[in-house]
Amino acid sequence: MVRKTKEEAEQTRKEIIHAARRVFHEYGVSRSTLEKIAKAAGVTRGAVYWHFQDKAELFFAMREDVFAPLVERTDAYLLSERFDNPLDAIEASITEFFRVLEDSAVVREVFEIMISRCEYVGEFSSVEEEVGRPAQDFLAKIERVYRQAAERGMLRPGIDPLDAARDTWAFTSGLLHLLLSCQRGSDLSQQVSAMIRVHMAMRRITPS
Amino acid sequence: MVRKTKEEAEQTRKEIIHAARRVFHEYGVSRSTLEKIAKAAGVTRGAVYWHFQDKAELFFAMREDVFAPLVERTDAYLLSERFDNPLDAIEASITEFFRVLEDSAVVREVFEIMISRCEYVGEFSSVEEEVGRPAQDFLAKIERVYRQAAERGMLRPGIDPLDAARDTWAFTSGLLHLLLSCQRGSDLSQQVSAMIRVHMAMRRITPS
DNA sequence: TTATAAACATTCATGAATGTATGTAAATAA
DNA sequence: TTATTTACATACATTCATGAATGTTTATAA
């Protein structure tokens, strides 16, 4: 039976993406053949080639599915007006990011694929830029927020907002990488929220 | 002409390792065929198979060549007795690490391969553990040094040594990853030493 | 109702990488 | 001096992934 309805076709497209995620995660991107992915999705390579031009396009689709809404979520916290203290917005945003990472196996799988199961060469070198841009954006955003905190006298004296932003930037990136690539039995995931709290506490005024 | 002398054989072994590094860096590990590596080294696949069992063994040899001496160097700073303030030892150790990374193209290439040009699955999943161990060790070491600083009253009051160590741990890891994977025209490499200084300054007493 | 095109499955040709097996000349040990 | 390894090069068989070409239904528009 072929020639499904439009909705059914969209469904198989999504199943291919989900299967790709599982296969990428298990075998790594370059060892994930389209045959394996198709089989995991319950279709043949013909279906995969119908929906996606090649492996790279499938990879990008899988990534975009998870990435865009995540950035939107964390930005909502970061740019929210409901925090009296801008530092609370930063803390809430970062905490939310790692909370999603902890709660959603799908998100975690995609990040693990991108960090330790993909080689950024050839058709995939553009991925690095696509990932680098949000990182760059994140730095710019938290710098603005830190600046607001400084203006309102809520950043500890002697700390430059840009310096604080860069430090938080590196901290966040490092925490992500450590969490996903060398957790092996370490209790790091249970320490995450405490680490974020401590990190932010160091730049608040009147640290008890 | 075959059957070289022992020293000549050792030389070709090294040339194969160097060629592997260049090829791995350009094409990524999985797309680096032993044929390409052999050609880059000026030999045939026969020579590669003579010196190494397969691609994985060649990869490990290439990595070990660079990794071991680097850890030794940074540890020398970290565990040195010549610093009055233990925090200076930490700062010097981290600074030294990134200085080597900046100065040595070989070291940088190997780190770039390991961070963004290798998939940690199959025969390579053990690499993650091998890299995770030094990271774990680094945390333990700086925690001890932070504790010394606290005992000598040189750590800013209100900061727990373990918390400080974890924060520095994440910071260092993040800085490394940001530096190697999303530098694209950013002036990050020029900011590194300043960022380290700022990071450490936040945990020193009497921040001017 | 029928033609068209969508949504796949199937088949085929091709190339590329791997591992192994075998060849070979020179260094080295006896 | 000669036998034996060493340090490779060459050749071969096999597997495997890719992309394209073609086949096959069936939803859908006209």
The percent of residues in chain B predicted with pLDDT above 70, rounded, is 97
Q: Within this chain, do residues B159 and B118 fall inside the same structural domain, yes or no? A: yes
Query: Which segment of B107-116, B120-129, B168-177 scores lowest on mean pLDDT?
Result: B120-129
Instruction: Please report which confidence band the pLDDT of residue A1 belongs to, taking 50, 70 and 90 as the band edges.
Output: low
**Taking CB atoms and an 8 Å limit, are B160 and A116 in contact across chains?**
no
Pair B48, B68 in one domain: no
Protein-proximal nucleotides of chain D (any atom < 7 Å from a CB):
5-11, 16-21, 23-28
For chain B, the average pLDDT equals 94
* Nearest CB neighbour to A28, from listed B119, B167, B184: B119
Q: Which of A33-47, A57-71, A118-132, B141-155 has the lowest mean pLDDT?
A: A118-132
**Contact of B169 with B141, CB cutoff 8 Å:** no
B163, part of any domain: yes
The whole-number pLDDT of residue A5 equals 84
CATH code (residue B117)? 1.10.357.10
Residue A135 inside a domain? The answer is yes
Any chain A CB within 8 A of the CB of B28? yes
Interface of A with B in 112-151 (CB under 8 A): 116-122, 128-129, 131-132, 135-136
Instruction: Say what the pLDDT of residue A4 is.
Output: 79
Residue B173: which domain range? 64-201
- Would the pLDDT of A158 be above 70? yes
Is there a contact between A167 and B118 if contact means CB atoms under 8 Å apart? no
Rounded average pLDDT over B19-34? 97
**Residue B59, domain member (yes or no):** no
Q: Which residue of B has its CA nearest to A196?
A: B167
Residue B53 has pLDDT above 70, yes or no: yes
In a domain, residue B149? The reply is yes
Query: Could B31 and A118 be called an inter-chain contact, meaning their C-beta atoms sit closer than 8 Å?
Result: no
List residue ranges whose Cβ is under 7 angstroms from nucleic strand C: A 2-4, 6, 8-9, 12-13, 38, 43-47, 49-51; B 1-6, 31, 33-35, 45-46, 49, 54-55
CA distance A6 to chain B (A): 36
Domain count, chain B: 2
A171 Cβ under 8 Å from any chain B Cβ: yes
Residue B183 has pLDDT above 80, yes or no: no
pLDDT for B184: 66
- % of chain A beyond a pLDDT of 90: 85
Contact B171 A174 (CB under 8 A): yes
With 70 as the cut, is the pLDDT of residue A84 above it?
A: yes
Nearest-CA distance B83 → chain A (Å): 25
Query: Last residue of a domain, which of A52, A75, A95?
Result: A52
Angstrom distance, A19 CA to C11 C1': 24
Q: Measured CA to C1', what is the nucleotide nearest A4?
A: C7
CATH number of domain containing B28: 1.10.10.60
Residues A189 and A96 occupy one common structural domain = yes
- State which of A32, A52, A72 marks the end of a domain: A52
Q: Do A178 and B173 touch (CB under 8 A)?
A: yes
Residue A131's pLDDT is 83
Q: For residue A207, is pLDDT > 60?
A: no
DSSP-derived secondary structure letter, B43: S
pLDDT at A153 over 60: yes
In three-state secondary structure terms, B204 is strand
Domain contains B57: no
**3-state DSSP call for residue B155?**
strand
Burial of A95 (0-12, 13-18, 19+ CB in 10 A): middle
Domain annotation covers residue A206: no
Per-residue pLDDT for B187 more than 90?
no
**Same domain, yes or no: A116 and A164:** yes
Protein CA at B11 to nucleotide C1' at C30, angstroms? 28
Same domain, yes or no, for A175 and A135? yes
State how far the Cα of B20 lies from the Cα of B117, in Å rounded to an integer.
Answer: 13
**B33 and B119 share a domain?**
no
pLDDT at B206: 73
Q: Once rounded to an integer, what is the mean pLDDT over residues B1-16? A: 87
- The mean pLDDT of B96-124, rounded to a whole number, is 96
pLDDT at position A2 = 72
Examine the domain organization and report whether B192 and B94 are in the same domain.
Answer: yes
Residues B80 and B183 both lie in one domain:
yes
More confident residue, B151 or A130: B151
pLDDT of A184 above 90: no
Average pLDDT value for residue range A134-145: 95
| Residues B127, B129: Cα–Cα separation, whole Å | 5
B178 and B110 fall within a common domain: yes
Residue B153 lies in a domain: yes
Are B125 and B149 contained in the same domain? yes
Instruction: Give distance CA B184 / C1' D8 (Å).
Output: 42
* Partner B contacted by A60 (CB < 8 A): no
Indicate the range of A136-145, B109-118, B179-188 predicted with least confidence.
Answer: B179-188
The pLDDT confidence band at residue B189, using thresholds 50, 70 and 90, is: very high
Q: Are residues A26 and A67 in the same domain?
A: no
Residue of chain B whose alpha carbon sits nearest to that of A159: B202
Nearest to A119 among B118, B128, B131 (CB): B118
Contact between A201 and B159 (Cβ < 8 Å):
no
Q: A31 in contact with B at a CB cutoff of 8 Å?
A: yes
Q: Which of B185, B35, B118 is nearest to A31 (CA)?
A: B118
Convert the pLDDT of each residue in A11-33 to its tens digit: 999 999 999 999 999 999 999 99
Quick check: B118 pLDDT over 70?
yes
For the segment B80-99, the average pLDDT, to the nearest whole number, is: 97
Neighbours of B133 (CB within 10 A): 12
The two tokens of residue A90 are 């930063």
Q: With pLDDT > 70 as the criterion, what percentage of chain A qualifies?
A: 97
Q: What is the pLDDT of residue B185?
A: 62
Residue A173 lies in a domain: yes
pLDDT at B76: 96
Geometric angle at alpha carbon B13, from B7 and B19, rounded to 5°: 135
Q: Does residue A7 have a pLDDT over 90? A: no
Does residue B135 contact residue B116 with C-beta atoms inside 8 Å? no
pLDDT level of residue A185 (50, 70, 90 thresholds): low
Higher pLDDT, B131 or B124: B124
Does residue B208 register a pLDDT over 60? no
Contact A166 B122 (CB under 8 A): no
